[in-house]
Amino acid sequence: MLRPLQHVGCRGVAQHQGAYLLTRRHISTTTPATTVAQLLRSTAEASSSLSTQGPVTLNGFVRTVRKQKRVAFAAIGDGTSLDAVQAVLTPDQGKDLSTGAAVQISGQWQKSPSGKEQSHELVASEVTLLGDNDAESYPIQKKYHSADFLRTLPHLRTRIPFNALLLRLRSESIRHATEYFTKLDYVQTHPPIITSSDCEGAGEVFHVRDNAVSTTREEKEGKEFFRSQKYLTVSSQLHLEALAQSVGRVWTLSPTFRAEHSDTPRHLSEFYMLEAEACFVDDVNAIMDVVEGLIRAIVNGLQSSTTGEQLLSASAKKHLDDHQETKAADIEARWNGIIGKPWPRITYFDAIERLQAAMADEGVSFEHSPCLGAGLQAEHEKFIAETVGQGSPVFITDYPGDIKAFYMAPSITQQNPDISTVACFDLLVPELCEIVGGSMREHRLEHLLRSMEAHRLLDPNSAFSTDLQSSIPTALQWYVDLRRYGSVPHGGFGLGFDRLLCYLSGVSSIRDVVSFPRWYGRCDC
């Protein structure tokens, strides 16, 4: 029977003998709750105690309900599986259920009658309505919802089975990344979110200010909450360099912020970066080895996981929306491209030559002509990823120092005498393009200062000399100090974690692999 609930009045309280008492909806603990994933998995495991008839308690949400004269059927999901469990109910048990309602169902897990679509079903003996649902206004119904529509409901869209799967994909990927770094003796750290510098030097930063009312004196003196202007971090790299010089190898998975006015499927204003730094490394190839090993480890882990299996089978089961356009076979091809052959590594100059040759000899056209000394456009990266990688990721190394950040160390070998390059790399994947950037860091004090001067980061009013204290910006003084006190050769990288999830899942927009996406003009909740 349907367990009756105490009447709940305004604000979830019930009046009792003149006093207002909080009401509680009882959740049975007589039988340990089982997840949908466990129940469905048990049908394929003959050794499981759940594979035969037995008592089961299931907590979840009603996806659909069909009410007939003598029986009712409810599809129950709990986010642990793309598929739902069919519960068989009496008309009385099902009369108050609607799509989206939260329920606890206890009953017998048993084989379905022959000819049914599902192999097993839950025959309910007791149903508790834990959280009723306004079915008329509930926006998530059993019908097609566009990705644009679901982005207006970030607080509800993870109830869509495929979006819940993306949450599990993120969790699974983080687990495999953590295991990988643990095996390599990297220390996970938590660098600050509020910083004093723009690490990337692009100026696309969010300024941090308090909302306290300033006094007249504070306004005149221009006082800041932190005594000087601070920003939301655009990268944890500089702080990771400091931490790495104490424990050798560090990594983090942290939120990152960019005040870009970009409106593309690849950009967000808030996203997660997986960054790592390693000391006592003098070759950028060693850093690329870590990147390649990391992504291979994540994909290998996904291939042997339930989450990975469900992702690959999602297309065939028609759980997809227009934000997930990549077929399961194509996703599997991406994964195989990652874990297959070693990834190609070509220099920036080689990439430019290939692009120019494609225009001259193959009739390939680009909106922006590839030019030696200039950065690569997205169309150039896409061409290189497809033609050089041929299904696998591609490293492009040794970019001109003039178009890269001040902290990058020079390349060991200079390929072009007219253009000085730095020991850096970008990792490109087919279709999505860049997902990782890394480099060796300039660990020599004098060379770092000269690079800062070349990038116009020193005070132009101060003469260049051996004592540069007065010319170093206050916000970067601590970073320069790292080179004064026992600096060692080191390098690191930053991986756009959300972009990686896009590539691994086949989701076409980064806005759909992030639960609460923020981009220019949008921060809904």
Q: Where are the domains of the chain?
A: 28-138, 158-193+233-443+488-512, 444-487
The label of the residue with tokens 């949908």 reads 36
The Cα–Cα gap between 323 and 317 comes to 16
| Per-residue pLDDT at 226 | 87
Amino acid at 256: T
More confident residue, 48 or 23: 48
- Which of 23-27, 224-228, 246-250, 274-278 shows the lowest mean pLDDT across its residues? 23-27
Would you say residue 460 has pLDDT above 90?
A: no
Asked if 440 and 409 count as a contact pair (C-beta separation under 8 A), the reply is yes
| Per-residue pLDDT at 224 | 79
Topology given in CATH for the domain delimited by 28-138: OB fold (Dihydrolipoamide Acetyltransferase, E2P) (2.40.50)
**Average pLDDT rounded to a whole number, residues 428-455:** 94
The label of the residue with tokens 């992030």 reads 514
Would you say residue 498 has pLDDT above 80?
A: yes
Would you say residue 225 has pLDDT above 60?
A: yes
| Per-residue pLDDT at 474 | 85
| Per-residue pLDDT at 135 | 85
Task: Report which DSSP code applies to 82.
Answer: S
pLDDT interval class at 277 (50, 70, 90): very high
Helix, strand and coil in the chain, % to nearest 5: 30, 25, 45
| Per-residue pLDDT at 20 | 34
pLDDT interval class at 22 (50, 70, 90): very low
The label of the residue with tokens 């930063």 reads 205
Topology given in CATH for the domain delimited by 158-193+233-443+488-512: BirA Bifunctional Protein; domain 2 (3.30.930)
**Average pLDDT rounded to a whole number, residues 51-64:** 85
**Average pLDDT rounded to a whole number, residues 223-229:** 83
How many residues make up the chain in this entry?
A: 525
**Average pLDDT rounded to a whole number, residues 17-41:** 64
Q: pLDDT digits over 162-180, tens only?
A: 999 999 999 999 999 999 9
Would you say residue 472 has pLDDT above 50?
A: yes
**Average pLDDT rounded to a whole number, residues 268-289:** 98
Task: Report which DSSP code applies to 426.
Answer: E
Averaged pLDDT of the chain:
87
**Average pLDDT rounded to a whole number, residues 23-41:** 72
- Which of 109-123, 239-253, 433-447 shows the lowest mean pLDDT across its residues? 109-123
pLDDT interval class at 415 (50, 70, 90): confident
pLDDT interval class at 273 (50, 70, 90): very high
Would you say residue 265 has pLDDT above 90?
A: no
| Per-residue pLDDT at 466 | 53
Q: What is the SS3 assignment for 228-278?
A: CCEEECCCCHHHHHHHHHHHCEEEEEEEEECCCCCCCCCCCCEEEEEEEEE
| Per-residue pLDDT at 31 | 57
